[in-house]
Structure 1
């Protein structure tokens, strides 16, 4: 049992190191590509348009991945810290349920349907 626990601790340590390394590399790559875009835009006379667009797509993709990571981390913290069975948590959960429900939808004829049973039938 101790060997198993030691293995888990080692795995946890390696994953943390890997995560920090990957996050650092991602930020560094975003910074490098952004600097490259600025430099190419400064000296560009129409020759580097495709290169600039490619770098911009890469930066946008990296930024989107980073945003997803932070959104997931925030949700993870909310689930860990927020679920204290408090009235505040219940109000937030109820509000989220209300926001995620469909109250009105268009049917196949384009008519707006708001009756719960009709909305259910569309799905």
Structure 2
């Protein structure tokens, strides 16, 4: 049974909805119904949202499998915190104008760390 991963899924979902709200707000203020119309503000909002959507679900899936295989709560929480912090830092650093490159980079390092450690943990736990 999953008892830890749902907490991180809920927190990441809240961030996802907030990023979606930013895209909607930018669409309204810039009067863009679809695409980015070559508007850099719109492109930034869409890509920040999209990047989050590209990594968060896969990370959660891997973390859930680690938890389902009976890993310690400490490991599951560390993976969840790493993914959550990584996605938050990346979204914030990427979404700012000008970008805060160090936060964007740290966010990706944390995200990749969560993905790789979860993947390796799944392999180890499977055997």
TM-score (normalised: structure 1):
0.39
**Relative contact order (alpha carbons < 8 A, sep ≥ 6): 1 or 2 greater?**
2
Q: Which has the larger radius of gyration?
A: 1
TM-score (normalised: structure 2):
0.38
